[in-house]
Amino acid sequence: MSETPEIKSAEPVPSQAPTPGMGAPPGLLDRTLDTLRAGWREIAASARGVVGAAPRANLPREDAERLKEQIEACLDGRGGEVSARARAAQLGRTYLALDGQGRRNFLMMLARDFDVDRAAVDQAMATFQTAGDPVSRGHAERALRRALEPPRLRLLTQFNGLPEGVKFLVDLRAELMEMARGEPLLQALEDDLKSLLRNWFDVGFLEMRRITWDSPASLLEKLIKYEAVHEISGWRDLKDRLDSDRRCFAFFHPRMPNEPLIFVEVALVQGMSDNVQALLDPSAPVCDPKSADSAIFYSISNAQVGLAGISFGNFLIKRVVDGLTGEFPNIKCFATLSPIPGFRRWLDRELAERGDSLLSPPEAERIAEAMASHPETGESETDSDADERPVLAGALALPSWHTDDELQKQLRGPLMRLCAHYLTTARASDRRSERAGAAPARALDPVAHFHLSNGARMERLNWLGDRSPKGVRQSCGMMINYRYKLGEIDANHEAYRGEGKVNASSAIRSLGKGGA
């Protein structure tokens, strides 16, 4: 109601959360890092002899060796808990002071030199295999479990006790995800950190809060920065999105009380919305929320890049539905107004492979006739380019095709059919062979996968529901309503996750019958 991961339009999409070294908004991030460094400096200085000479920014080999000794001291617990906490704070401050190459060197050292001790694992396995009685076997099992835990995991856990330490690890993983591509050592470290964060961010630990215009300014500023579906243009726009006929809810973690993890924006309206510009129109009158019969989830944004792959968006939706049902008993329709971010990419691939065979001859003829009278036709390409390009590709290449009444009229039928076919049949695993016993292939569109996983039904496809440049670029301007019917959510979820069944309305299925 991603990409997710996938509401004024609703879904998990790639998060825009600020993270160190990843193009974060400078003002917000700089203040966070300044606070972090200042707080950790005092902790690091609280134990005598902990703070040494700072390494150079690029962390050359000799500096890395000294840092390695510092890490070993952290793991040994020399000097008690106060010293261990101080050393962890100093390590964190050291990492934040490094440049990109220095951070990579730091993480490579952590991945390489503080991995599982294979010899200790072999010895523990041998002891386990020869254990004769239940008591000995129990001791051997526990010893093997300890041997399989890499020392770096214990080091990372120490940051949990520092102010903003969990946020530091979340942002650290965001950087690590980028660095780990094609580097097995760093990938193993990233897997360890993801496992740690998944345990800490179990949904049972999370608190759902409503965000209002009276919330702290620092939190409202983060909403503007983190919004990943429909950009918030400023404070006035944000105020409109928090008006009396709107709701915004977010999940928070007790160790990150001022950082939203994921948030959802909801419009309380009459009827199921079909156009996001109308929903976001600042001049539209404010409705009485008590008269609303529909709750439209138009935006879901994952605020923390470092929590990618740790899913709790579905739990947020269900809690919001429960809360709104209690507050507004007249609301009977819970639905999204969602983007279709993967459609245009899929269509471009299909056009490259199949060209105008995607269209019927009458469709191709009518589109070609409409293009002939369009003022932009032929302005930026040679005659040979126009002759070789499929007619549908040529029409979509015209920047203002969606504002030309005749052209968009002729494109509507074919594009709606192709989009319905894409949503109901395209699978993410189409290009790999199915393994025996493997889970059913997921929907190719990430937003569709998110909502189908949560038990929604594809309800209605909306022509030119998003005329923004982003909407036209991603999905030819189309949007979709996913509907959450409270009595069907669990059954839909099981059918999709267990059998790969896409639950769609008869209207969408009829649209897609012509196929591609």
| Nearest CA-CA partner of 304 in 295, 291, 313, 296 | 313
How far is Cα 54 from Cα 50, in angstroms, rounded to an integer? 11
SS3 340: coil
Q: 402: which DSSP letter?
A: G
| Nearest CA-CA partner of 264 in 301, 212, 216 | 301
How far is Cα 16 from Cα 32, in angstroms, rounded to an integer? 16
Please say if 338 is a catalytic residue: yes
Which backbone phi and psi does 275 adopt, to 5 degrees? -145, 120
Beta bridge partners of 266: 247, 297
Q: Where are the alpha helices (DSSP H) in 114-150?
A: 118-130, 134-147
CA gyration radius, the chain: 27
For the residues of 141-168, what is the DSSP string, one character each? HHHHHHHTS-HHHHHHHGGGGSTTHHHH
Six token digits for residue 284:
């539209």
Catalytic annotation, pick one of 338, 421, 449, 475 = 338
Place of tokens 């192709």: 418
Q: 363-382 burial string, b = 16+ CB within 10 Å, else e? A: bbebbbebbeebeebeeeee
Question: HSE on the CB side for 399, CA within 13 Å?
Answer: 6
Six token digits for residue 414:
């074919």
How far is Cα 306 from Cα 151, in angstroms, rounded to an integer? 21
Six token digits for residue 298:
């138009």
Beta bridge partners of 209: 250
- Cβ neighbors of 26 (< 8 A, separation 6 or more) are none
For the residues of 417-473, what is the DSSP string, one character each? HHHHHHHHH-BTTTTSPPPTTPPPPPBSSHHHHHHHHTT-EEEEEETTS--SHHHHH
Which backbone phi and psi does 360 adopt, to 5 degrees? -80, 155
Q: How long, in residues, is the chain?
A: 516
Six token digits for residue 194:
């993801």
CB 99 within 8 A of CB 57: yes
CB 157 within 8 A of CB 196: yes
Q: How far is CA 513 from the centre of its chain?
A: 31
Catalytic annotation, pick one of 230, 421, 449, 451 = 451
Please say if 421 is a catalytic residue: no
> Which residues carry out catalysis?
338, 451
